[in-house]
Amino acid sequence: MSNPLILGIESSCDETAVALVRGDRTIVAQRIASQDAEHRPFGGVVPELAARAHVDRLTPMVAEVLGEAGVTLADVDAVAATAGPGLIGGVMVGLVTGKALAWGAGKPLLAINHLEGHALSPRLADASLQFPYLLLLVSGGHCQLLGVEGVGRYRRLATTIDDAIGEAFDKTAKILGLGFPGGPRVEQAAARGNARRFALPRPLLGSDEPHFSFAGLKSAVLRQWQALPDKTDTDRDDLAAAFQLAATDCLVDRTARAIAAFPQATALVVAGGVASNQAIRAALSGLATANGLPFVAPPLWLCTDNAAMIAWAGAERLTLSPAERLTLSPAERLTLSPAERFKLDLVDGLDAPARPRWPLDPGAEAVRGAGVRA
């Protein structure tokens, strides 16, 4: 299928999103509904509220996207829906909606890994990006370095042993009373602050261990903040800046180690919600230049959760050549997990499960700490 039209659905956290994307990278129509107002009073995402909002918004948004594009489900070649990882209530809402649409219209279902959506999103924005590339995937729930060798082919080089980088940003925002959503608020405060005023740790900096750690940095921010007798806006901005600099130093150091471990990379790529941070982008761009690699980062709207990347991951799957697919006997097919099934048939059955956790490299060696779940 050379230029499929894919309907994408994303509901893994607190953005409800629907998009129509073609295999030639044309974004035909899309909608993204934020839930910031609903969750702001709680200082973070409340899973039950998020799931209910997806229920209320998703079906009307599908109708709006189809209407804007001037097409019906009969014109769509496949329905791609996030099947995990994420908040399980929201994932179920989106996946069940995708299954119902696919079944009702007689269209193939593509159960997409949310992380794969992020991993492939730079190729939606940049047609020149070729496999294999080194990906720094940074979001609220994940901090990983991956060798992206092809569609469905991911080699995890590093992960976090405790907090994800986005989680550390969010908790720092909460400590400093910056509000929700935390990541953008920390970045805004940091732009006003003196990053050298406070001395903060850089966990695992220079370590032979390839992984990340941010729990100690987050705790150091809390201790420094609590030790201030009369807290001012300047204190808040300076500590936010110090945190952002320390976190960026850790990301650059760990990524530099991965560049050496993955010399076949055609580019250094960053994706995920935290990839919208301009200080982190600038530091990674400098690292790429120093190592003779192109630096690729999606446009800001494509870094945060969206359905265009889910639809694009589906399009990437459907446009795989026969030579890129697996050839197995009927007996061998029965042994496949749903995550592997697409390598044969490219599509998923209506029994595709919703998953709170779904690693891109399930065969990766377990690491100490929370990283064993990543």
Classify strands 27-34 and 15-22 as parallel, antiparallel or unpaired: antiparallel
Average pLDDT over residues 30-34: 89
Q: How confident is the model at residue 324 (pLDDT cuts 50, 70, 90)?
A: low
Classify strands 133-138 and 27-34 as parallel, antiparallel or unpaired: unpaired
182 Cβ neighbours under 8 A, 6+ residues apart: 169, 170, 171, 172, 173, 174
Structure tokens at 235: 């204190």
pLDDT at site 1: 66
Q: Tell me how crowded residue 187 is: count the other CB atoms within 10 A of its CB.
A: 21
Read off the pLDDT of residues 89-121 as tens digits, 9 standing for 90 and up: 999 999 999 999 999 999 999 999 999 999 999
Q: How confident is the model at residue 323 (pLDDT cuts 50, 70, 90)?
A: low
Read off the pLDDT of residues 124-146 as tens digits, 9 standing for 90 and up: 999 999 999 999 999 888 899 99
Lowest mean pLDDT among 14-28, 152-166, 335-349: 335-349
Q: How confident is the model at residue 336 (pLDDT cuts 50, 70, 90)?
A: low
How does the average pLDDT of the chain come out, rounded? 90
> Terminus-to-terminus CA distance in the chain, angstroms?
33
pLDDT at site 127: 95
Is the pLDDT at 311 greater than 70? The verdict is yes
Structure tokens at 117: 């959506």
By CB atoms closer than 10 A (0-12, 13-18, 19+), residue 77 is middle
Average pLDDT over residues 25-39: 87
Q: Tell me how crowded residue 334 is: count the other CB atoms within 10 A of its CB.
A: 8
pLDDT at site 344: 52
Q: Tell me how crowded residue 103 is: count the other CB atoms within 10 A of its CB.
A: 12
* Contact between residue 210 and residue 157 where contact means Cβ atoms under 8 Å apart: yes
Average pLDDT over residues 11-23: 92
Average pLDDT over residues 23-28: 96
Is the pLDDT at 330 greater than 70? The verdict is no
Read off the pLDDT of residues 219-248 as tens digits, 9 standing for 90 and up: 999 999 999 999 999 999 999 999 999 999
By CB atoms closer than 10 A (0-12, 13-18, 19+), residue 176 is buried
DSSP string, 303-331: HSS-SHHHHHHHHHHHT--GGGS----HH
Structure tokens at 27: 């974004």
pLDDT at site 372: 44
* Contact between residue 124 and residue 312 where contact means Cβ atoms under 8 Å apart: yes
Lowest mean pLDDT among 44-48, 59-63, 327-331: 327-331
Q: Tell me how crowded residue 226 is: count the other CB atoms within 10 A of its CB.
A: 9
Is the pLDDT at 171 greater than 50? The verdict is yes
Helix (H, G, I), strand (E, B) or coil at 109: strand
Domain annotation for the chain: domains and CATH numbers: 5-121+303-360 (3.30.420.40), 132-297 (3.30.420.40)
Is the pLDDT at 329 greater than 80? The verdict is no
Give the separation between CA 72 and CA 80, rounded to whole angstroms.
15
Question: Which parts of 177-214 fold into alpha helices (H)?
Answer: 182-192
Question: Which parts of the chain fold into alpha helices (H)?
Answer: 36-39, 47-69, 88-105, 114-125, 165-176, 182-192, 215-227, 233-261, 278-290, 300-303, 308-318, 330-333, 338-345
Give the separation between CA 97 and CA 102, rounded to whole angstroms.
9
CA angle centred on 127, ends 126 and 130, rounded to 5°: 95
CA angle centred on 176, ends 175 and 177, rounded to 5°: 95
H/E run at residue 142:
none
pLDDT at site 8: 98
Is the pLDDT at 341 greater than 90? The verdict is no
Please confirm whether the linkage preceding 47 is cis (ω < 30° from 0). Answer: no
Average pLDDT over residues 301-323: 88
Nearest to 374 by CA among 356, 350, 347, 352: 356
Q: How confident is the model at residue 14 (pLDDT cuts 50, 70, 90)?
A: confident
pLDDT at site 248: 98
Lowest mean pLDDT among 40-44, 244-248, 268-272: 40-44
Supply φ then ψ for residue 312, to 5 degrees.
Answer: -65, -40
pLDDT at site 281: 97
